[in-house]
Copies of this chain bind each other. A is one copy, B any other.
Amino acid sequence: MKQQRILYIDPVGVEVVEEGLRFLTEQKQEGTELTLVTLPRGPEHLEYRYYEALVLVDILHLIKQAESKGFDAAVIGCFYDVGLQAAREVAERMAVIAPCEASTHIAATLGDKFSIIVGRRKWIPEMVENVVRYGMKERLASFKSVDLGVLEFHRDEDETARRFREVGQEAVERDGAEVLILGCTATYGFYRELQEELGVPVIDSMIAAFKTAEFAAELKNRLGWSHSKIGGYESPPPGEFSAWRLEEQYDFGDIKTWLQRAKKP
């Protein structure tokens, strides 16, 4: 089978975290070529909708660029699944995947109910909206918050692990969860120990999205199953972009050549 090329977008304006990259690379299939990029600009986390708004256009342009460079699938690596539907609208031949959708789909096949462990209460309403949209509301046992911001998960990893364990146990014993999801891609690396300690599957949402992207790429390449272009994911007509001179109106920054410079593992 032909190689499949996957782009993992960590949609924040920071350097690529080498540890995260290694973490993903370990899990890739042999035939997969993985490229991980962060954005050339942007906030350092996306806890607020305002920050999501800032990075949204850059994500979409990255998606278009990846598509034109022959990528088979892209991951938008934030558990808010920021811009997932817009990305599927603009992509015409490439699969787009995001962590919340991927994780809840997997969790729903592993048990009856799952809980999602998040950093802060603030995140929950937007995530609930996604869980509902994905049809998984009846499978949701609870959201559990550990009261840590995105940038704090790796500050004191023992403390983070302790909090995950505490709320995870509560979710399993009190809320009826049979599976747990770590509801932030920045929580990579914690799932395996937690899984062993609690005796239930713990979904790392970063990996879940990446592996689902490999899966989606294969479905597209083999079977032609890609986003329907009739209805909600209809792409914008090519003429309007230039007729309205959108290129000139906005500063699209470095994003056009960004992929060339992206590090590969």
Instruction: Tell me the A residues contacting B by CB distance below 8 Å.
Output: 1, 13, 27, 29-30, 41-44, 47-54, 56-57, 60, 83, 85-86, 89-90, 95, 97, 101, 105-106, 108-113, 121-122, 124-126, 128-129, 132-139, 172, 176, 178-179, 191-192, 195, 199-201, 203-204, 207, 211-212, 215-216, 218-219, 222-236, 240, 244, 246, 249-251, 253
Once the chains are docked, how many angstroms separate the CA of A191 from the CA of B111? 31
Contacts of A251 in B (CB 8 A): 250-251
Q: Chain B's nearest CB lies how many Å from the CB of A112?
A: 4
| Pairwise interchain contact A178-B232, C-beta atoms closer than 8 A | yes
Contacts of A215 in B (CB 8 A): 211-212, 215
| Pairwise interchain contact A234-B122, C-beta atoms closer than 8 A | yes
13 A–B contacts, CB within 8 A, in A order: A42-B249, A43-B244, A49-B85, A50-B236, A53-B56, A111-B231, A111-B232, A122-B232, A178-B231, A192-B224, A200-B230, A250-B253, A251-B251
Closest-by-CB residue of B relative to A29 is B1
| Pairwise interchain contact B49-A112, C-beta atoms closer than 8 A | no
| Pairwise interchain contact A135-B139, C-beta atoms closer than 8 A | yes
Closest-by-CB residue of B relative to A232 is B125
Once the chains are docked, how many angstroms separate the CA of A60 from the CA of B57? 14
Once the chains are docked, how many angstroms separate the CA of A168 from the CA of B229? 16
Once the chains are docked, how many angstroms separate the CA of A48 from the CA of B231? 11
Contacts of A203 in B (CB 8 A): 225
Knowing that A121-B231, A124-B231 are A-B contacts, what are 4 other residue pairs whose CB atoms are under 8 Å apart, sorted by A's residue number?
A42-B249, A54-B246, A110-B225, A207-B223
